């Protein structure tokens, strides 16, 4: 009985190993053309491959087993007619002497799929290596594109047409959008804001590239393009919707604004600008956006004066 149990155990172990091997051999289905190259070591015609001129960022993977093979950063144009790489993803490629006894064949280290050949000494790149790969042996996974991180600022300095005009021209600004903020009415209209009953200011939301400009530079421009000493509006535009206000989105912005106000005070200026924490910004109607650019005019109550 003990030997029967032992034999049964061995049989089960063998079946498990065979099952595991079969599982390992389950590869992606191939077309006849793909099989000719990948399994029977053929070669696609030069300049005919899908990835010969591919320049997008991403990763090249094995057509048969999906194993990562090459990074797009290592791809270069050798003029040979096939995709060329001067490096591989570590551990991804296996080399062996080609059947012609001269060239070095390269295969997927995971599944043994034929990829092409590798050459050295040609001096195409500093690495002095060229993996000459058949496009048909690979798939391509594009790199995930991430949205750039832009900074945001919100300023109100009277009629938002003029505020937008100057910020649109500032270096490093990605966009300037006019709208309403600071009040209690959701989805306000221009007519409602002008009635003075919503508590909203006409404001501009500025998106900027922190690599090209800073919040401090934009805040300086805010003070330099309107009369920050006027307490009842801006120029001929009177009312709470036109009050000079900085809506800060974080404590750093608040501190920067306070320091600039202190500098202005030290210079003997009366500063009427209010500092308020940012609240919901409601985009204004389309006809207000890019107003001066679309109408070929210039601001009537905004001006630039160098201060800082």
Please give the full DSSP string across 46-103, using - where no structure is assigned. TT-STTTT---SEEEEETTT--EEEEGGGEE--SSSS-EES---TT-EEEEE-TTSSS
> Helix H segments across the chain?
2-24, 32-38, 160-168, 190-194, 215-224, 251-266, 291-295
E runs forming strands in 103-150: 104-108, 114-120, 129-133, 138-142
Q: Which helix (H) or strand (E) holds 248?
A: strand 245-248
Backbone phi, psi, residue 18, to 5°: -60, -40
Instruction: Select which of 62, 108, 132, 301 is catalytic.
Output: 132
User: Checking phi first, is residue 254 left (phi over 0); if not, alpha (psi -120 to 50) or beta?
Assistant: alpha
Q: Verify whether residue 194 is a known catalytic residue.
A: no
Instruction: Write down the catalytic residue from 62, 159, 194, 301.
Output: 159
CB 275 within 8 A of CB 246: yes
| 159 flagged as catalytic | yes
Give the tokens for residue 30. Answer: 């191939």
Contact 208, 218 (CB under 8 A): yes
Q: Report the SS3 class of residue 233.
A: strand
| Burial state string for 132-168 with b = 16 or more CB within 10 A and e = fewer than 16 | bbbbbbbbbeeeeeeeeeebebbbbbbbbbbbbbbbb
Q: Is residue 163 a contact partner of residue 225, using CB atoms and an 8 Å limit?
A: yes
Beta-bridge partner residues of 179:
203, 283
Which residues are tagged catalytic?
132, 159
């Amino acid at each position: 009985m003990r030997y029967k149990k032992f034999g049964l155990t061995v049989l089960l172990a063998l079946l498990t190993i065979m099952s595991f091997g079969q599982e390992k051999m389950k590869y992606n289905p191939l077309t006849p053309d793909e099989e000719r190259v990948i399994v029977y070591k053929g070669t696609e015609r030069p300049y005919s491959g899908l990835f010969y001129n591919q320049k997008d960022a991403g990763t090249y993977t094995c057509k048969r087993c999906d194993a990562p093979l090459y990074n797009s950063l290592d791809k270069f144009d050798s003029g040979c007619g096939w995709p060329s790489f001067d490096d591989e993803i570590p551990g991804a490629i296996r080399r062996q002497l080609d059947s012609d006894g001269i060239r070095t064949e390269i295969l997927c280290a995971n599944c043994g799929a034929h990829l092409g050949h590798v050459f050295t000494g040609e001096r195409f790149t500093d690495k002095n290596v060229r993996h000459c790969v058949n496009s048909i042996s690979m798939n391509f996974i594009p790199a995930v594109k991430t949205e750039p991180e832009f900074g945001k600022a919100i300023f109100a300095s009277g009629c938002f047409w003029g505020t937008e005009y100057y910020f649109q021209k500032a270096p490093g600004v990605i966009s300037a959008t006019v709208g309403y903020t600071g009040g209690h009415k959701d989805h306000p209209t221009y007519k409602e804001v002008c009635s003075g009953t919503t508590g909203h200011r006409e404001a501009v939301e500025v998106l900027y590239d922190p690599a090209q400009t800073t919040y401090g530079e934009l805040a300086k421009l805010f003070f330099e393009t309107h009369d920050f000493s006027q307490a009842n509006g801006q120029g001929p535009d009177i009312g709470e919707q036109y009050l000079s206000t900085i809506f800060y989105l974080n404590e750093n912005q608040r501190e920067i604004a306070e320091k600039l106000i202190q500098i202005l005070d030290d210079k003997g200026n009366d500063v009427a600008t209010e500092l308020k924490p940012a609240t919901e910004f409601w985009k204004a109607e389309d006809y207000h956006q890019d107003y001066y650019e679309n109408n070929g005019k210039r601001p009537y109550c905004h001006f630039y004066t160098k201060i800082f």
